[in-house]
Structure 1
Amino acid sequence: MIDSSYYLPTELLIDVFLRLPVKTLIRCTSVCKSWYATIRNANFVASHFNSNGNYHQQHPHDGYLLFGGSNFCHVVCDTNFKLLHAIQTPFAVRPHRKSSLNFIGSCNGLLCLAPGLEYNLGNDVYIWNPSIRIRKKLPPSRFSDEFTDDRWIVSRLGFGFHESTNDYEVIRLIYFPEGRNFTSVDVPPLVEVYSLKTDSWRIVHTDVPPIVTQSVVTFHKGVFYWMGFKSIRDDPMENYIMSFDLDNEKFREIEQPSVDFPFSLLAVRGSSGSLYAVYSKFFGGQNDILVLWKMDEYNRGWNKAYTIQCVRGVWWTIGFTRSRKFLYANLEKKLVSFDLESLKSEVHDLGISFSRSAVDVNYMESLLLFDR
């Protein structure tokens, strides 16, 4: 090869590789040992991700959605909502009405998963890259000894990228509810954070507001956001928003917008540098109304941004796409997109079944984890 006219210098070869999609690069690793070593090198993996990230910044309409089912994840274009291809999941989820693949969060092509029961996320937590079919099981919790007795525990998880440390981290809140219906707690949750760099958990000692968080978490600009309540015994029961900042590792309660009853908080979502709180009127009815409130750029308060008339009701809110659409599923479990520019809604029958806890609106291909 060195003496042939087909020889390419290493620098030029890498430059070519950086322009190739992930699937092509995976095939290239089978050509020869030197290509295999080059593509799986940590520096190349990082360079390819940066190139891929720059592309998505310049082409925000080239986005993908990932819908998880029992045995396959389906990749869908986020502009025309056409099914592109399917990826076999690393877990065969049992056909249980509460069982799910449970996407805890996604970042830069990596997904955090906790397969099992949606409302009781256990000790089995994984980081998975669907593009390269590589998964990593996280080590046991630092609080494993706390689980040896007969107490009922409930975990709440979050996953995100910590820019200041260049690390992927998972936060876990461990609650000890008074009953199995998880309506109130008598002790603050235990808190621990996992680092992908060190492949270990560490305990975080900090004050936590007395909020019983729900399973859905949003990661936005280095901060996790949960919705929840202080006790179902509250009359009337009120929703709350709680955050955890990865930089200072502090929890705090977020003041809500001035929403009149009977609106109820359904989700907190991030989109294009902005944070939104999603409220619903007549939740579960055929004529639901969704109201999206946007946090101002200085984090001083909320402004009403969008009102969506939902003719077929709301089953679950999903989030914002790169192409500036807000997604939710109606009561017929069909996908509905609301265009933030035209203010028009469109129903999409994807022809696939998906779990409400296994949808990713920011899916992208990357080689992350390929060097491990």
Structure 2
Amino acid sequence: MDDCVVYFTEDIVKEILLRCPLKSLLRFKCVCKSWYALIKNPEFVQQQLKNHSSPQLLIYTNGTPDDPDHDYHSITLISEENPQTFKGMTHLIGSVDGLFLMYGTIDGTISCTLWNPATREVRPLLLPLPESIIHAAPVLGFGFDPLTNEYKVVYFRCSIYHECEAAVYSCSRDSWSVLKPKESFPFYTNVKNTFCTAYLNGTYNWLLRGGHCCDYTILLFHFGSEMFEEIEGPNCNFLYTSVLGLMLMDDSIAILNYNRCCMLDYDIWVMIQPGVWNKIFTFECIGLIKSCYVSSLIFADKASHLVSYNARTKKTRRLGFQHSRLGIGAQHGGCGVFYYKESLVKLTQ
């Protein structure tokens, strides 16, 4: 019998490739020139990103005492067979379209890097930062500008004397631009770090303590207009957020909060509309909360297993990962955890 060769149209090939895992797509670029061009096509990259594939678990450490050089200032990915290590990096935020922002202080200077863990591509941001803010304690956000179709990084600080400075990094221009403070520029006394991504629909969000509106407010940065906005938070009489903070619940900004009536219980407050909050859940969760995804919280139990808890269904399941340092916060040499969508988004110009 003669060999039968079947030729598919480009549309059929595209539909087949869109259903393949990302790691397979990276290998398939070597099959032929037409597949390479198709997989690199920006339209294909966006369609792959929108596919409803399962999220991936990213687990990293911030250096441990058993490191040979006792380097506490490095981020190491430990959820892959071949871990990556980034020296000098101490903070990781994301993900936005499968991309992360890392930053830390190297030789007394703030250093920032964009990272795609799926493709292992990294892009150091152009340095130095604007001289006026380079020595400030970093408060950063990372997101996508839907108006210019580019990724941006925002950096700001406000001193105790209400002197505010901010800058935005544009990936397309590969440069920083200083934002001029306006009368509406929000002052703050304490920005609470989020334990998970706080990016939503073109804005980056921080939880403030001591803002303009009340004791707890949400500070937003709009990447399209490059403007800040402050939104009133829940009644401070119901919040005890000295440890926990901002999260995403489905497609809404939410606050994960200790319940004052019982310190083993947690509350989730969801912003129904700007300035309007509703407590939707109270639940008991024994363990260190590490991250969240959609309506699920990810925590480490007493045996250092990673467990997922669905706040809506109240069901738990083990995620099949154990590490001795999961019970320690990432900033203290322990493990940090993210759920993220693998993507082919390129960081190079």
TM-score, normalising length: structure 2: 0.76
Secondary structure, aligned partner of 1:260: helix
Q: Is the 8 A contact 1:264 1:281 kept in 2?
A: no
Q: Distance between the aligned counterparts of 2:58 and 2:260, measured in 1? A: 29
Partner of 1:218: 198
- How far does residue 63 in structure 1 lie from its aligned partner after superposition? 2.4
Partner of 1:138: 125
Secondary structure, aligned partner of 2:24: helix
Partner of 1:157: 140
Does residue 341 of structure 1 match 2:312?
yes
Partner of 2:161: 186
For residues 293-333 of structure 1, give each alpha carbon's deviation from its aligned partner in whole angstroms, at most 9, with x where no partner exists.
1111x335111111122345xx45522x24x3123446876
Residues 290, 201 of structure 1: CA spacing in aligned structure 2 closer, same or farther, 3 A cutoff?
Answer: same
For residues 49-102 of structure 1, give each alpha carbon's deviation from its aligned partner in whole angstroms, at most 9, with x where no partner exists.
31341x21xx6xx22221112564255xxxxxxxxx445225146xxxxx73x2
Does residue 326 of structure 1 match 2:297?
yes
Percent identity of equivalent pairs: 23
- How far does residue 12 in structure 1 lie from its aligned partner after superposition? 5.0
RMSD over aligned Cα atoms? 3.6
Q: Distance between the aligned counterparts of 1:243 and 1:210, measured in 2? A: 12
- How far does residue 139 in structure 1 lie from its aligned partner after superposition? 0.7
Residues 316, 186 of structure 1: CA spacing in aligned structure 2 closer, same or farther, 3 A cutoff?
Answer: farther
- How far does residue 161 in structure 1 lie from its aligned partner after superposition? 1.7
**What pairs with 1:1-372 in structure 2 (closer than 5 Å)?**
5=5, 13-33=13-33, 35-40=35-40, 44-53=41-50, 55-56=51-52, 62-69=54-61, 70=63, 72-75=76-79, 85-86=80-81, 88-92=83-87, 100=90, 102-115=91-104, 123-144=110-131, 147=134, 153-175=136-158, 185-207=160-182, 208-211=185-188, 212-216=190-194, 218-230=198-210, 238-260=215-237, 263-264=240-241, 266-281=244-259, 287-296=263-272, 298-312=273-287, 315-316=288-289, 318-319=291-292, 321-322=293-294, 324-329=295-300, 335-345=306-316, 350-352=321-323, 353=325, 356=330, 359=336, 361-369=338-346, 372=349
Q: Is the 8 A contact 2:133 2:165 kept in 1?
A: no
Secondary structure, aligned partner of 1:155: coil
Matched letter for residue 223 of structure 1? T
- How far does residue 155 in structure 1 lie from its aligned partner after superposition? 0.9
- How far does residue 259 in structure 1 lie from its aligned partner after superposition? 4.6
Segment of structure 1 superposing worse, 351-360 or 274-283 = 351-360
- How far does residue 36 in structure 1 lie from its aligned partner after superposition? 3.7
- Unpaired runs of 5+ residues, structure 2, are 64-74
User: What is the aligned residue count?
Assistant: 319
Secondary structure, aligned partner of 1:114: strand
- Unpaired runs of 5+ residues, structure 1, are 76-84, 94-98, 177-184, 232-236
- How far does residue 6 in structure 1 lie from its aligned partner after superposition? 6.6
For residues 330-357 of structure 1, give each alpha carbon's deviation from its aligned partner in whole angstroms, at most 9, with x where no partner exists.
6876544332232245676721245536
